[in-house]
Each structure stands twice: as C-alpha cells, then as structure tokens.
Copies of this chain bind each other. A is one copy, B any other.
Amino acid sequence: MDKLNIDRHISQQYNSALDDLKKEFLEMGGVVEKQIIDAVQSVAEADVDTAQKVLTTEQDVDAREMAIDDLCTQIIARRQPTASDLRLVMSVSKSTRDLERIGDEASKIAKMAIAISESDDVPHGFSELRNLGRQVHDVVDMTLTAFARYDVDLAVEVVSKDKVIDREYDTAMRELITYMMEDPRNISRSMNVIWALRALERIGDHASNISEQIIYLVKGLDVRHQSADEMVQQLNQE
C-alpha cells in the first residue's frame, strides 16, 4: 500500500471505532429504555414476572457499561482523538454512567412492584405512577433520538420537559402524603409507590444529564447547571 492508502486505511479504522462507540451506546440505551417500560408495566399490573425480567437485565446493562468504558479508553489511547471526536468519547464515557443509573432506578421500581404484589390492596398513586412513567419513558426516548441525530434542539427540549416531570412528581408526592395522613394504615404500601415515583423522577434527571452531554458534544458548550431557557440563549449567541 502506498502512503495515501495507509492513511485512508487508518482513518477508516478510526471512524469505525467511533461508529462502534455510538452504536454500542445506542444499543445500551435501547436496553434500559425497555427496562423502564417493563418496570412501569410491572408496577401498574402487579406483574412479578415482568419485574423479574427487569432485575435479570441489570447484569447485561452493567456489562455494557464496562465494555463501553473500555472502548472509550482504547479509542483515546490508540487513536488520540481531538476536538469533536474527543468530545464524543468524553460525553459517551459520562453518559453510560447515566444509562446504567437509569437501569438501576428501573430495577428499584421493579422491586417495588414485587413488594406491592405481595399485598392484596391496590395502593393509591397508581395512575400518577403510570402517567409519570409514560412521560419519563418519552424523555429517555427523545434523549436517545437526540444522540443518534446529534439534535441539539431535541436535547434542549428534554431538559425543559424534565422540569415539567419534576413538577408533576411534586404534585403526586403531595397527594400521596395527604392520602397517608388520611389513612395511616396504608403508609407502608404508599411508601413503595413513593419510592417508585422517586425513581422515575431520577430517571428524568439522568435523561437531562445525557442531553446536556449531547449539547456539549455537538456544540462544544458546557451547559450544565443551566435552565433550558438559558441554554437556548447561549446557543443563539453562537
């Protein structure tokens, strides 16, 4: 091979490593997305089998997190990426942690489903749980799409939708506390619903974190600790 061909060969290997990284990340995203759907269904239908499935998937998610981190380190050590390529590697390295935590929170919800299924009564807060579950799944789905398409506008939308989720979570929480005060015999059971709601709220936060990383990777801007409005302002200044 002449020099030009060797260069082209190396550059193809390099691009394919970055493509692999993106692909692995999106695949892991698909796995945890399914975990959210299953976890919410397992709670809503007191379905222990589906809950067990969520718990079993945890090991797969952990293994994927470690494999992606390994890939990140290898790409940096061997390919010495700079600029936007380096930002891709760094943001994937941070965001896999968020994906893994999303899986973790889904597992917590599945455990609550098992606890809830062991009692006869249906505790209050189920419709709130289902409603919040749907919204949280939506933002995770939007996040993965934003990553796949490098879509900054969609990433900003996730951050702003997460604020709506936080408010709905607060409302649901206040309702549950009122309910517990009215019927203290239900406190233990209601606490399971509270933990599941809390886990959903956390999943929204992780989707928001990943979306901030997407903005960083596409635009090179660190927009963490900003509101969606501040982000739009900063992005418009560019």
Contacts and interface: CB of A to CB of B under 8 A. Distances in A.
| Of A70, A94, A187, most B-chain CB atoms within 10 Å | A187
Interface residues of A, number: 30
Interface in A161-186: 177, 180-181, 184-185
A72 B97 contact: no
Query: A-side binding surface: helix, strand, loop or mixed?
Result: helix
A16 interface: no
Interface in A14-48: none
A188 B180 CA distance: 10
Contact of A69 (B82, B180, B185, B222): B222
A77 B66 CA distance: 23
A94 B94 CA distance: 6
A76 interface: yes
Contact of A177 (B82, B93, B185, B188): B188
A198 to B, nearest CB: 8
A177 B181 contact: no
A225 interface: yes
Contact of A72 (B62, B66, B73, B90): B90
A103 to B, nearest CB: 11
A94 B66 CA distance: 13
Rank and list the top 5 A-B pairs by shortest CB-CB distance, nearest first: A184-B184, A62-B225, A80-B80, A77-B82, A181-B187
Nearest to A78: B82
A69 B225 CA distance: 14
Contacts of A188: 177, 181
A224 interface: yes
Contacts of A76: 76, 86, 90
Nearest to A63: B225
A87 interface: yes
A200 to B, nearest CB: 15
A65 interface: yes
Contacts of A93: 90, 93-94
